[in-house]
Structure 1
């Protein structure tokens, strides 16, 4: 597949959440709202192009030029309190409920306070009946595996996995472009629960868990799964690197600034922002003046 669209940088879209934070510094100076912000969507459908010929257009509006909806929703998560205990359906389950696709995701830990943890998967032997009963007596947490996390951990969150995120972390989440979430338990917050739908899609055992990094030629492979591959690149002073991309992709700034260079264009990539690399671009050059790190998130090539 070829594309006539050059790479472009998106402006993050900030999503208020009751478990979020007032300030997202040092990642973002200003969120434009006084509400608690829990998520910065870097490749959300409503994110707008920041500069160039496409400035002001939303990612969603560019779908026809990109060969379809951008398949990866990449976010930064900023929990100040525990998120709800939840589960996501797989593709078949979501489509049976009238949704476009399911939601398989992964979390890359960018910051973690001592003792930080997530919840990932049911403990062995836990039944859906026990899970349902635990809502009323507020014991659901005791039925889910607690996983300590530290900076640099990558966690796979398979569809059907009961999970939750605790406070004290900043996570880079890469997921299928979907917001289908079934909330099982919410610590008494006045938000809707989706227990009936959630219990139907829970799988007692999934592939969820920590994924060990693999050193590749010039980068670190953090995870490689059906819907996405995520790699980390660390560049030294005045270093440049050719980056090849097979499917729809984005680069996300993690530390320091880099320049994404294509014929006739240079785009500055800062921490907490994403540059979309349309499928068919082939190769870009990434250059750093000072030490910098970024992540490459790639979806499988679309069927031509």
Structure 2
């Protein structure tokens, strides 16, 4: 007999990165001996990096096992028809001690053809930023392939990029085909399609401990650019307490900002799982079967079969995600 579903936490998959730092360990309490923790994969169905349940009666089981065993009870009927036994989102916390590479992601069509993968539409919610920390998103002028390639070849690419100074709470929607990079000093939550396909176009001429430069993907990247995209990447959203304030809604996910200062009864009317990422404070999520405390830097998956639940807190800021 299958176990009854409940609010599920997974063991974070921590990634050592050339640009990573210590904020995920020091601020979000991620337990790791890695020297430069750049990413914490909170919920992942990426090949070779499948999340493992950390709590409750399903502890030790993989996300893949949950999908195969519970199907639409886990992710919703319409999602199961579309995605089958693949989880559609990859959920991360990221700490950039140094600038990430200048990069972009392919759309679904290109990613399918070249890598048998989904594309990688994503969004960022800035949790903490050092003074003068930047995100790079898009260009600072009208752009075409010829002008872009001229600057790339002449090592003047940074002169045409758009640098945005950021602070906690700033939110960005990064569509496929848009050039971008997380700047040094930024810690953020990232919600994206399940894909690990990134085209690096410039990596600040840095090398690793062995003196090797990281691989660039300029031949692949040039076809993946969308040079006609409007500069609509900054997300404006309301912050009304104790209601879900929609931030981003796209074909791949909907994310809302939810600041909880009392006890809320929540109804899942979306025919989808719901994910809560705690970006500040802590909250208790209570169902008929179980309750789970979620603290800053933690993530919980609410299976689709759980239609009503309570969130209780006097100080929590959550990102609420569904497909």
The two structures have a TM-score, normalised by structure 1, of 0.89
Q: CA deviation at 1:58?
A: 2.2
Hey, what does 2:10 align to over in structure 1? 10
Question: CA contact under 8 A between 2:5 and 2:305: conserved in structure 1?
Answer: no
Q: CA deviation at 1:195?
A: 0.6
Q: Does 1:163 align with 2:180?
A: yes
The two structures have a TM-score, normalised by structure 2, of 0.84
Hey, what does 1:56 align to over in structure 2? 60
Q: CA deviation at 1:25?
A: 4.2
Question: CA contact under 8 A between 1:132 and 1:195: conserved in structure 2?
Answer: no
**Closer/same/farther in 2, CA of residues 132 and 293 from structure 1, 3 Å limit:** same
Once the two structures are superposed, what CA deviation does each residue of 1:231-286 show, in whole Å capped at 9, x if it has no partner?
Answer: 122222xx211223312221111222211111121111121111111223222211
Q: CA deviation at 1:4?
A: 6.0
Q: 1:286 pairs with 298, 311, 319, which one?
A: 311
**Aligned partner of residue 24 in structure 2, secondary structure:** coil
Hey, what does 1:227 align to over in structure 2? 252
Structure 1 vs Structure 2 CA RMSD = 2.1
Question: CA contact under 8 A between 2:39 and 2:92: conserved in structure 1?
Answer: yes
Hey, what does 1:271 align to over in structure 2? 296
Q: Distance in 2 between matches of 1:168 and 1:24?
A: 12
Q: Does 1:113 align with 2:138?
A: no
Question: CA contact under 8 A between 2:281 and 2:295: conserved in structure 1?
Answer: yes
Hey, what does 2:215 align to over in structure 1? 192
Q: CA deviation at 1:29?
A: 3.3
Question: CA contact under 8 A between 2:29 and 2:297: conserved in structure 1?
Answer: no
Question: CA contact under 8 A between 1:215 and 1:221: conserved in structure 2?
Answer: no
Once the two structures are superposed, what CA deviation does each residue of 1:106-158 show, in whole Å capped at 9, x if it has no partner?
Answer: 11111122222111113333332343343443321112212222221111101
Question: CA contact under 8 A between 2:24 and 2:95: conserved in structure 1?
Answer: yes
**Aligned partner of residue 103 in structure 1, secondary structure:** coil
**Aligned partner of residue 285 in structure 1, secondary structure:** strand
58-67 or 77-86, which moves further after superposition? 58-67
Question: CA contact under 8 A between 1:112 and 1:169: conserved in structure 2?
Answer: yes
Q: CA deviation at 1:83?
A: 0.4
**Aligned partner of residue 9 in structure 2, secondary structure:** strand
Q: Distance in 2 between matches of 1:170 and 1:34?
A: 17
Q: Distance in 1 between matches of 2:34 and 2:117?
A: 33
Structure 1 regions of 5+ residues with no counterpart?
A: 300-304
Q: Does 1:202 align with 2:225?
A: yes
**Closer/same/farther in 2, CA of residues 80 and 187 from structure 1, 3 Å limit:** same
Q: CA deviation at 1:40?
A: 1.0
Q: Distance in 2 between matches of 1:148 and 1:205?
A: 23
Structure 2 regions of 5+ residues with no counterpart?
A: 75-79, 207-212
Q: Distance in 2 between matches of 1:109 and 1:22?
A: 16
Question: CA contact under 8 A between 1:230 and 1:297: conserved in structure 2?
Answer: yes
Question: CA contact under 8 A between 1:121 and 1:205: conserved in structure 2?
Answer: no
Q: Does 1:149 align with 2:166?
A: yes
**Aligned partner of residue 94 in structure 1, secondary structure:** helix
Q: Distance in 1 between matches of 2:308 and 2:250?
A: 22
Q: Which has a greater percent of helix?
A: 2
